[in-house]
Amino acid sequence: MLTMNWPSLKELTVRECKRVEIVFANSRETSSQQPLFWVDESTFPNLHQLILGCNAGVKDIIWHCQGQQQQQLLSLYFPNLELVELYTYPKEVTVFPSYLFHLLSLPNLQTLEISWSYFKEMIFQSEEGGEEKPASLLLSQITQLRLLYLPELMHLRKEKEGFPNLRILYILECPELKANLVPSSVSF
């Protein structure tokens, strides 16, 4: 198990890696599968952009570690992550996978782009009992949201809260998106 440090790396893109099932794993944990990167606090101290394409059949492309610990470790290991781009999730994945739940609630995350996928709603399924969490619980700090080429997306959100910090909303080729993007009580 070798943890490499990438102190100058600002952007990381992982795509078309069909044999990779786990991108990151905590270097202190043991895993039966080899991740692409073993990480700790000093692996990606300056990473600002993470771009991930999903492979069909991937169980946990982002992270392998134990439960509640996941959020704390992601915040510690990716302290400067500002942009996350997610694309090419297969038709079988209509709800955001649980491993994205913690990634999208990082404190410095400002920009989220989701494209070329089949999500129907901006709802995230948490690991705790399979419970669904509304996007507002995770995306309140987002200043820029880009939704591109999402042919099944029907609703941006269900709940009453708005995106209090959203400054840019970019929507392209989302033909099923309802004209009323959000309830009238929601503010941007």
H/E run at residue 102: helix 98-103
H/E run at residue 37: strand 37-39
The predicted pLDDT at position 21 comes to 75
The phi, psi pair for 53, rounded to 5°, reads: -105, 135
DSSP annotation string for 63-90: EES-TTHHHHHHHHH-TT--EEEEE---
Looking at every residue in the chain, the average pLDDT score rounds to 76
CA distances from 59 to 9, 13, 63, 82, 89 (A): 26, 19, 10, 25, 12
The predicted pLDDT at position 58 comes to 44
The predicted pLDDT at position 34 comes to 79
The predicted pLDDT at position 57 comes to 41
The stretch 75-98 carries a mean pLDDT of 82
Q: Which residue has the higher pLDDT, 73 or 153?
A: 153
**For the chain, how long is the longest CA-to-CA vector?**
52
Total-model pTM: 0.82
Residue boundaries of the structural domains of the chain: 11-172
Residue 54 — very low, low, confident or very high, per pLDDT cuts 50/70/90?
confident
> What are 95-143's pLDDT values in tens digits?
766 667 677 778 899 999 999 988 887 765 444 555 555 555 567 788 9
CB 29 within 8 A of CB 70: no
